[in-house]
Structure 1
């Protein structure tokens, strides 16, 4: 896996929140470009990977979360992305009508994982059983904090995105250390 390529547009931050917008299939990149043209900060998580066919190998960009795009907007800017035909609605919590907000810290951890992971990052929507809070101490993901999980006998570090589930990546067990409880209490 190579470092991610992502589309990101920055604008001034005045109490902006990360929201998840549902987008029509196969229109994610075009929607990100249109949001950029509107001056709206957005993040489309993609990872570059090598795909192999019977006759050739080719580097392709893979959407990590299909049919979704993250937008960083103020409450006044919320209606703007919905004006695009490809954007259907925002993700909401069950039983609520206001858009679900992704905390800035979770977005920063998720983006860090995508940018520096040499392995494929996968999303899983299955809720994880509480595990040990860990910090990566070696390798390209050093400094990443997450939760240690085991999937099919492989150690993985998971970063939770409360509204979407979690993103996880393979990592050698020797590359992580358990976080102190007092470190956890400080947060």
Structure 2
């Protein structure tokens, strides 16, 4: 079975994943804990890692079952076809979110545009292109995952 990417209504990601799981579909909505500050307090809140996107694993013939949830808008397409995410990439996201410690990545010697291989941490064995280097962080494009990684110094 393939993992497909679903585009959702804003702020519906967790709700849709719960609904589709209740209907027997295998869904994954990666979340992180962020601290939100209001005028009178701070609170830790669980928010989706990818705004407006969740992953669903199902057979190609069952793709229309996701529209049973009213918050689903459409599937994400890549090069005119349904975007398919590999099991290895889903597992990499899960490992990264479950990692107890943050990994330090040093790219001091690298130039913008250079392709590098990450040797440690949850994204080890992934290739990335150096997009930006600032005094506080590095920006890497992880081509195989189709995402941008921001690494603090």
3-state SS of paired residue (1:51) = strand
Which among 125, 135, 140 is matched to residue 145 of structure 1? 125
Q: Give the whole-Å Cα distance in 2 for the aligned partners of 1:69 and 1:90.
A: 10
The alpha-carbon distance between structure 1 residues 44 and 143, as it changes in their structure 2 partners (threshold 3 A), is: closer
What SS does structure 2 have at the residue aligned with 1:70? strand
| Residue in 1 that maps onto 2:108 | none
Q: 1:112 Cα shift? A: 1.7
1:168 aligns with 2:149: yes
Quick one: distance in 1 between partners of 2:41 and 2:139?
31
Structure 2 SS opposite 1:48: strand
The size of the alignment, in residue pairs, is 141
Q: State the Cα distance separating 1:111 from its structure 2 match.
A: 2.2
- Structure 1: gaps spanning 5 or more residues: 1-15, 120-127, 173-187
Partner of 1:89: 74
For the Cα contact (< 8 Å) 2:99–2:122, is it kept in 1? Answer: no
1:104 partnered with 2:87: yes
CA-based RMSD: 2.7
Give 1:113 deviation, angstroms. Answer: 1.8
Gap change, CA 1:86 and 1:55, over 3 Å in 2 = closer
Q: Distance in 2 between matches of 1:85 and 1:41?
A: 17
Match of 1:71 in 2: 56
| Number of the residue aligned with 1:41 | 26
TM-score by length of 2: 0.75
Change in Cα spacing, 1:55 to 1:86, as seen in structure 2 (3 Å) is: closer
Return the alpha-carbon distance in structure 2 between the equivalents of residues 86 and 142 of structure 1. Answer: 31
| Whole-Å separation in 1 of the counterparts to 2:11 and 2:75 | 18
User: Per-residue CA shift, 1:123-159, capped at 9, x if unaligned?
Assistant: xxxxx945211211xxxx3673333735424245654
CA displacement 1:152-172 (0-9 Å, x = unmatched): 24245654455xx31414255
Provide the residue aligned with 1:135 in structure 2: 119
